Amino acid sequence: MSEAFEYVSHARLLYKDGYRNAYLGEVATPVVYGVQGKLREYYGTKEGPPIASTLDHIVAAVAG
């Protein structure tokens, strides 16, 4: 791993039914971001299944 390289991340967001669908690089299936728990209450988001927020993903990525 001594060779230098450059990585450019490509992401595209699509808003659908109040949720953000993130298409990341070459991965065909989007990551869906929503809200749950206290965030749902704070933002007054419509009822529905709890979906992880961007904050949840950031915490998991840093912890991993």
Give which of 15, 53, 39, 8 is closest to 61, Cα–Cα: 53
Determine the pLDDT at residue 22. 94
- Could you report the per-residue pLDDT of 18-35, keeping only the tens digit for each? 788 999 999 999 999 888
Asked if 40 contacts 19 with a C-beta cutoff of 8 angstroms, the reply is no
The percent of residues above 70 in pLDDT, for the chain, comes to 98
Query: Chain-wide mean pLDDT for the chain?
Result: 88
Q: Which two structure tokens, joined as six digits, stand for 56?
A: 């949840």
Q: Is the pTM of this model over 0.85?
A: no
If you compute the radius of gyration of the chain from its CA atoms, what whole number of angstroms results?
15
The sign of the dihedral angle between the CA atoms of 47, 45, 37, 64 is: positive
Q: Assess whether pLDDT exceeds 80 at residue 1.
A: no
3-class state of residue 47 by DSSP: coil
Domain boundaries defined on the chain: 33-64
